[in-house]
């Protein structure tokens, strides 16, 4: 068995004295593992780092075997990402989420979303909101998507401010009033047509709280798992960074 693909490294695990098991989110073969002989050498280690974009040739005698990778570096992102704490925590968070996917099951939408994340993960202005959107995409990809397009009670698409924790559907401000203590906040940057400005610290926290609730309910708790510890650090870093940023100039010419 043999195939060629490309992907983003999301994990590396030592194997024996000199090899590693490389975990890659590939374009056509989903989350896929393979053995890299000599992967712990001084030459190979800088290339085999999470975040790097690589070309792969995978070979195995049978399809169900672990198989071996031949790896060629296409784009090095790891060094850039390692310099920014929010990027490191973001990588750990996304890697933990992607490990919930069935191995070798293609998810082209998540693959493309991961590429966008890697490009901006070291930019505190954009990375946290992109991670929240990626978490929403993960939920949708696994069959637990939220409906944030219209109010569950009235059908209106205007003034959506909350989400029902039971149905995962949006609720308008007016319809939410009697049930505010039971609903989750819906930050404006997740509402279609309202994502033009940078989210405030409170909005970022609301976004992570929203996705975190449904990730625990549908993905972590049923598997007896805790959310990745990197995610807690990412939320702290994101809220702190947003609080220290100057407001963007919203004036028009």
* Domain limits, the chain: 2-76, 84-148+186-244
pLDDT at 197 over 90: no
Which tokens in the block code for residue 200? Answer: 């405030």
pTM value is 0.92
Phi-psi map region of 159: left, alpha, beta (phi>0 left; psi -120 to 50 alpha)? left
The proportion of the chain whose per-residue pLDDT surpasses 90, expressed as a percent, equals 90
pLDDT tens digits, one per residue of 212-253: 999 999 999 999 999 989 999 999 999 988 887 665 443 333
Confidence (pLDDT) at 251: 39
Architecture of domain 84-148+186-244: Up-down Bundle (1.20)
Mean pLDDT of 6-17: 96
pLDDT tens digits, one per residue of 22-81: 999 999 999 999 999 999 999 999 999 999 999 999 999 999 999 999 999 999 999 999
Nearest to 94 by CA among 136, 135, 133: 135
3-state DSSP percent of the chain in helix, strand and coil, to 5? 40, 20, 40
Determine the Cα–Cα distance for residues 38 and 26; give it in Å rounded to an integer.
Answer: 21
Architecture of domain 2-76: Beta Barrel (2.40)
Instruction: Please state the separation of Cα 45 from the chain's center in Å.
Output: 24
pLDDT at 195 over 80: no
């Amino acid at each position: 068995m043999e195939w060629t693909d490309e992907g983003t490294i999301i994990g590396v695990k030592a194997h024996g004295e000199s090899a590693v098991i490389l975990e890659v989110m590939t374009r056509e073969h989903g989350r896929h593992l393979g053995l890299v002989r000599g992967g712990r050498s001084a030459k190979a280690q800088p290339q085999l780092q999470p975040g790097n974009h690589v070309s792969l040739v995978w070979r195995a005698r049978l399809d169900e075997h672990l198989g071996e990778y031949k790896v060629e570096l296409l784009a090095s992102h790891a060094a850039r990402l390692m310099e920014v704490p929010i990027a490191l925590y973001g990588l750990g968070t996304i890697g933990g989420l992607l490990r919930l996917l069935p191995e070798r099951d293609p998810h082209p939408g998540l693959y493309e979303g991961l590429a966008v994340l890697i490009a901006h993960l070291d930019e505190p202005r954009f990375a946290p909101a992109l991670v929240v959107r990626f978490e929403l995409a993960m939920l949708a990809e696994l069959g637990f998507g939220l409906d944030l397009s219209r109010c569950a009670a009235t059908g209106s698409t205007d003034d959506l401010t909350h989400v029902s924790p039971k149905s995962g559907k949006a609720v308008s401000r007016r319809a939410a009033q009697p049930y505010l203590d039971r609903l989750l906040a819906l930050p404006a940057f997740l509402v279609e047509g309202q994502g033009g400005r940078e989210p405030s610290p409170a909005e970022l926290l609301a976004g992570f709280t929203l996705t975190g609730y449904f990730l625990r309910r549908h993905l972590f708790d049923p598997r007896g798992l805790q959310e990745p510890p990197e995610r807690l650090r990412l939320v702290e870093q994101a809220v702190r960074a947003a609080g220290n940023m100057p407001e963007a100039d919203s004036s028009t010419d």
